[in-house]
């Protein structure tokens, strides 16, 4: 019985996804890269240890990896892991960080001032700017603060200054060494996409803060934002954030 047609849709989605990943693998097989080539990507690296590929059979990649061989299904599963692990997580983190900043107008103003001082209003943010934005980094990196009363003072308050040099949590790290704050897990199964995830989150947030001012629709006050979460792979917001952008740069955005 499949009264609402969910199983049918699930199977169709599974087949479509399978075809999409097959296409990625076939395109890479049709355009093989030399091991360690600068333009080789993660799929090229995995194909070098594919069971039946020339590279996998005693090719350089195979030799380097010793006895490790992957089947095509293994590679498909890893591509799927990275696709799913790396999209919703970052999107949800951006949505939470935007919501927290909207509820903290002073913090948002300070982030935008820092961006204006460093970048100016005549261009967008570049990757190389990110390391020169200390206040922005503290604001964004700690969005995922834990909520355990035993571990945190005012756990429900978004107060990034607690992680600043004079804050009571100075030095607490989010990479898996401090167990009260584990947005990426810890140990051998912790998130392999931490670096990419933080980079994507920081660049997207810096761009959003720098290129636009944000207001809430229909005169809604920040204090009226529902900050509830819902059950899911990464505790997404229970209600999507709706915010209205107004451009703040002097240059065209596209
Ligand atoms: C802000 C962004 C992200 C957050 C908060 C996040 C968080 C997590 C967490 C909590 C885990 C489970 C760790 C554990 O079990 O201890 C995990 C696992 C994983 N993440 Fe992420 N992640 C993010 C971005 C990414 C990105 C960008 C990728 C890939 C490009 C990725 C790929 C994965 C994979 C493949 C696993 C499974 C690892 C394993 O089971 O061995 N994640 N992530």
Per residue in 43-101, pLDDT (tens digit) is: 998 888 876 555 544 444 444 455 677 889 999 999 998 888 888 889 988 998 899 88
pTM of full prediction above 0.85: no
Ligand 1: residues with CB < 6 A are 81-82, 85-86, 89-90, 93, 183-186, 189-193, 196-197, 201
pLDDT at 8 over 60: yes
The atom number, within ligand 1, closest to the CA of 200 reads: 27
H-helix or E-strand spanning residue 245: strand 244-247
Count how many Cα atoms sit within 13 Å of the Cα of residue 132 in the half-sphere of its side chain. Answer: 11
125: Cβ–Cβ under 8 A, 6 or more apart, which residues?
115, 119, 203, 206, 207, 210, 211
Question: What is the model's pLDDT at position 54?
Answer: 54
Residues in the chain: 254
pLDDT at position 237:
86
Alpha helices in the chain (DSSP H): 6-30, 42-47, 60-64, 72-102, 105-119, 134-141, 194-211
**Segment 210-227, tens digit of pLDDT:** 999 999 999 999 989 988
What pLDDT was estimated at residue 52? 59
CA of 64 to the centre of ligand 1 (A): 27
> What is the spatial distance between Cα 246 and Cα 221, in angstroms, rounded to a whole number?
17
Of 46, 76, 95, 193, the residue with max ligand 1 atoms within 8 A of its CB, to mutate for a pocket test, comes to 193
Per residue in 145-188, pLDDT (tens digit) is 566 777 788 877 878 778 778 888 888 888 888 877 778 888 88
pLDDT band at 114 (very low <50, low <70, confident <90, very high): very high
Q: For the ranges 5-9, 35-39, 85-89, 118-122, which has the lowest average pLDDT?
A: 35-39
Q: Return the CATH number of 86-247, one of 1.10.630.10, 3.40.50.12780, 3.90.50.10, 3.40.50.720.
A: 1.10.630.10
Domain-wise residue ranges, the chain:
6-70, 86-247
Predicted confidence band at 20 (pLDDT cuts at 50, 70, 90)? Answer: very high
Give 156 Cα–ligand 1 centroid separation in angstroms.
24
Q: How far is the CA of 185 from the centre of ligand 1 (A)?
A: 8
The Cβ of residue 130 has, within 10 Å, a number of other Cβ atoms equal to 18
Q: What are the φ/ψ torsions at residue 71 (nearest 5 degrees)? A: -90, 165
Higher pLDDT, 139 or 127: 127
- The CA distances from residue 207 to 4, 59, 115, 118, in Å, are 41, 43, 9, 13
């Amino acid at each position: 019985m499949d009264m609402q047609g969910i199983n049918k849709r699930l199977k169709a989605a599974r087949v479509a996804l399978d075809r999409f990943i097959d296409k990625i693998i076939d395109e890479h097989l049709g355009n093989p890269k030399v091991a360690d080539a600068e333009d080789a990507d993660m799929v090229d690296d995995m194909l070098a240890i594919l069971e039946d590929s020339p590279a996998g059979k005693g090719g350089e990649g195979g030799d380097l990896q010793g006895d490790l061989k992957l089947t095509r299904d293994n590679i498909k599963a890893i591509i799927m892991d990275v696709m799913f692990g790396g999209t919703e997580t970052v999107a949800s983190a951006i949505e939470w960080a935007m919501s927290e900043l909207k509820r903290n107008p002073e913090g948002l103003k300070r982030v935008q001032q820092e961006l204006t001082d460093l970048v100016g209003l005549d261009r967008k943010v570049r990757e190389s700017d990110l390391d020169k934005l200390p206040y922005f980094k503290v604001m964004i990196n700690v969005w995922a603060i834990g909520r355990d009363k035993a571990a945190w003072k005012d756990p429900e308050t978004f107060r990034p200054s607690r992680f600043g040099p004079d804050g009571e949590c100075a030095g607490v790290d989010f990479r898996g060494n401090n167990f009260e704050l584990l947005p990426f897990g810890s140990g051998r199964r912790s998130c392999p996409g931490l670096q990419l995830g933080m980079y994507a989150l920081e660049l997207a947030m810096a761009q959003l803060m720098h290129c636009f001012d944000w207001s809430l629709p229909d005169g809604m006050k920040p204090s009226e934002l529902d900050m509830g979460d819902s059950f899911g792979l990464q505790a997404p917001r229970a209600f999507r954030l709706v915010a209205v952008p107004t451009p703040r740069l002097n240059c065209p955005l596209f």
